[in-house]
Amino acid sequence: MTVAEPDWSELDRGYVLALLAERAETCQQCGHPVSECRDKKTAGSWAVVRSTCYPSQVAQAEMENVRKEGRRGVVFATRRNN
pLDDT tens across 21-80, in order? 999 999 999 999 999 999 999 999 999 999 999 999 999 999 999 999 999 999 999 999
pTM of the model: 0.55
Alpha carbons within 13 angstroms on the beta-carbon side of residue 13 total: 5
* Residue 3 amino acid letter: V
DSSP letter for each residue of 28-46 = TTTSSBHHHHT-GGGTT--
Our CA angle for 49, 47, 39, nearest 5°, is 130
